Amino acid sequence: MKILMLAPEPFFQPRGTPISIYFRLKILSELGHTVDLITYHLGENKEFPGLRILRIPDILGIKKIKIGPSFTKIPLDSLLVIKAAWQAMTNRYDLIFSHEEAAFIGIVLGRVFRIPHLYDMHSSLPQQLINFNFTRSKVLVQIFKMMEKQVLKNSSSILVICPDLQRTVAEEGYGGKSILLENFLDFSPPRIPEENIQPNRADLAEAEEKIVVYAGNFQSYQGVSLLLEAAAEMKNDPVKFVLVGETPQGVSRMKQKADAYGISDKFYFTGQIPPQSVPHYISLADTLVSPRISGTNTPLKIYSFLKSGKPIVATRLWTHTQVLNDELSILVDPDAKNLADGIRRALFTQEGENKGKAAQRFAAENYSSEKYREKLNNAVINAVKKH
For residues 293-315, average pLDDT:
94
pLDDT attached to residue 186: 83
The H or E element containing residue 301 is: helix 301-308
The beta-carbon contacts of 247-255 under 8 Å, at least 24 apart in sequence, are 247/271, 247/272, 250/217, 250/218, 251/218, 253/218, 254/218, 254/224, 254/225, 254/228
| Domains 2-184+368-385 and 194-366 equal at CATH topology level | yes
pLDDT attached to residue 144: 81
Confidence bin at 124 (pLDDT 50/70/90): confident
Report the CATH architecture of 2-184+368-385. 3-Layer(aba) Sandwich (3.40)
pLDDT attached to residue 198: 67
Per cent of the chain over pLDDT 70 is 96
DSSP for 275-291? GGGHHHHHHH-SEEEE-
Strands 51-55, 95-99: pairing is: unpaired
User: Does 387 or 108 have the greater pLDDT score?
Assistant: 108
pLDDT at position 242 over 80: yes
pLDDT attached to residue 139: 84
User: Does 131 or 175 have the greater pLDDT score?
Assistant: 175
pLDDT attached to residue 311: 98
pLDDT in tens, 311-367: 999 999 999 999 999 999 999 999 999 999 999 999 999 999 999 999 999 999 999
pLDDT in tens, 137-147: 788 878 888 98
pLDDT in tens, 247-261: 999 999 999 999 999
User: Taking the domains of the chain in order of start, what are their residue ranges?
Assistant: 2-184+368-385, 194-366
pLDDT in tens, 153-210: 999 999 999 999 999 999 999 999 999 999 998 887 655 555 455 688 988 999 899 9
Confidence bin at 264 (pLDDT 50/70/90): very high
Please say whether the beta carbons of 384 and 95 come within 8 A. yes
pLDDT attached to residue 190: 59
pLDDT attached to residue 15: 85
pLDDT attached to residue 66: 84
The highest-confidence range among 14-23, 30-39, 363-372, by mean pLDDT, is: 30-39
Non-local CB neighbours of 61 within 8 Å, separated by 6+ positions? none
User: What gap in Å lies between CA 84 and CA 384, rounded to an integer?
Assistant: 19
pLDDT at position 48 over 80: yes
User: What gap in Å lies between CA 314 and CA 127, rounded to an integer?
Assistant: 22
pLDDT attached to residue 206: 92
pLDDT attached to residue 69: 78
pLDDT at position 74 over 60: yes
Chain-centre distance of CA 89, in angstroms? 32
**CATH no. of 194-366:** 3.40.50.2000
pLDDT attached to residue 193: 54
